[in-house]
Structure 1
């Protein structure tokens, strides 16, 4: 999926896990197939998952993620992975990798659960709980989404140039031009920062787990609202908004972040990860069809 990507096969992963964590040497290992774009993920036995980054990563980065994972799990209203350990690579896979606890559940489907009032309620409860976590002296780290919308103008221009024939680029450009100018809706709050369907686990129609909490930290209070357009139709979105208590500015900034994220998916993963590309297209379609957002 990425230039310079380094994959690890099942046998190699099992050797590295056995070397670093001997108590797991005999645990059954199976690759987790899905829409993930950052790690190759394996289930190790019944209670552990191994995550091998597809791009260069050092141990310090994964140790920081482990700290954020623990903080996220403590704040979350549902189960979330906790760190188990960080492993080192070898000549064939020279990067650090990590073990986390395994969280059961099925990945939230953005079409099957589009009208789910229950899931909208669960996500609103999660977002409110994350916002109650204390920011303290921490500040936005400047990485990715969650700071100034206008910082992403060049990226959006590039995405638009790559997306001709995939989405209605004229309407997307017009919408971005309006949303990028929406002022801040308040101080930064603690945020998951990537509440996409691939990171949300469902059981019996209810939110059962949240993955990838390693980015947990201060960010634009609207950022976690991206889930509204990634997952839901208009009535379920309205339910989530009311439960969160989002102001007009906050809601429109959430739409802006959802548009920025979706436009990065529609073309980049068009052939390498069709599931992610489809998510991007469906999110853009929901945004363009949202009359409040489009005006």
Structure 2
């Protein structure tokens, strides 16, 4: 997917585990198929999943990011009504892999798809409950740090317009540009910033027995505009459950428009980038763009 990614093998993973976590050395390692765009995943025995960044680096900032993600996992676990990944370890670079990696407890479930959800309205209410609980966690007065999702939507304008220019053969860019203009011009978030997940994609919502079971992939968790966590309304939910989600969260018109803009921003950037390399992500992008035009 990425020209600079590192494709780690199961043999390399097994050797790193044996060296750094000898208590796990007897557990079998097997790669996991995933449409994720940030990590390669490996199952270690029945209870552990290992996450290896596709773009590893020795830069201390990557290690700090992974450690921060684990800290946030512990914070969210104490407040959310569904499971989140439980940190088990932080690995270091070694032969065959030039960067840090992480270990979490395995959570059973499948990435969310409409055909796996028994009751879409109940799913929308359950997801809204998770998002509301997340937004209610005390932020301690923190504010958006000035980078990443959750800041002013207008700051994404140049990137969106560039992606629209690259997508003329892929989607209805003229209509999308009009939607983007309306979303970008919506009143800005002027209340206090809240804890946000910021990447509530279908692949980060696990379904088990037809219900929402877990929220995973916490690498983008931070503080910012709650509108960014409205993205599932367009990237996963159909029109009826979309309104159920909105009502359950009590979202005003301006926040809803910004949420629509965040969904459009993510999808229009993903579509041209992944159209040849990640069909699952490209299909989600197409679904999202159709929904924001609905």
- 8 A Cα contact 2:18 2:24, kept in partner: yes
Which residue of the other structure, out of 207, 222, 231, is the alignment partner of 1:226?
231
- 8 A Cα contact 2:12 2:95, kept in partner: no
- 8 A Cα contact 1:115 1:236, kept in partner: no
CA shift for structure 1 position 114: 9.9
Partner of 2:265: 260
> Residue deviations 1:203-234, cap 9 Å, x none?
12110011112332211111111011111111
Distance 1:147 1:44 in 2: 37
RMSD over aligned Cα atoms: 1.5
Closer, same or farther: CA 205–85 of 1 in aligned 2, 3 Å:
same
Partner of 1:161: 165
CA shift for structure 1 position 273: 0.4
CA shift for structure 1 position 31: 1.4
Which residue of the other structure, out of 239, 245, 251, is the alignment partner of 2:250?
245
Closer, same or farther: CA 84–94 of 1 in aligned 2, 3 Å:
same
Mark the runs of 5 or more structure 2 residues left unpaired by the alignment: none
CA shift for structure 1 position 88: 0.9
- 8 A Cα contact 2:175 2:293, kept in partner: yes
CA shift for structure 1 position 115: 6.8
CA shift for structure 1 position 56: 2.8
Which residue of the other structure, out of 111, 114, 121, is the alignment partner of 1:117?
121
Partner of 2:98: 94
Partner of 1:51: 51
**With structure 1 as the length reference, what TM-score do the two structures score?**
0.94
Partner of 1:293: none
Query: Does residue 8 of structure 1 match 2:12?
Result: no
Number of positions where the alignment pairs a residue of Structure 1 with one of Structure 2: 289
Distance 2:106 2:287 in 1: 29
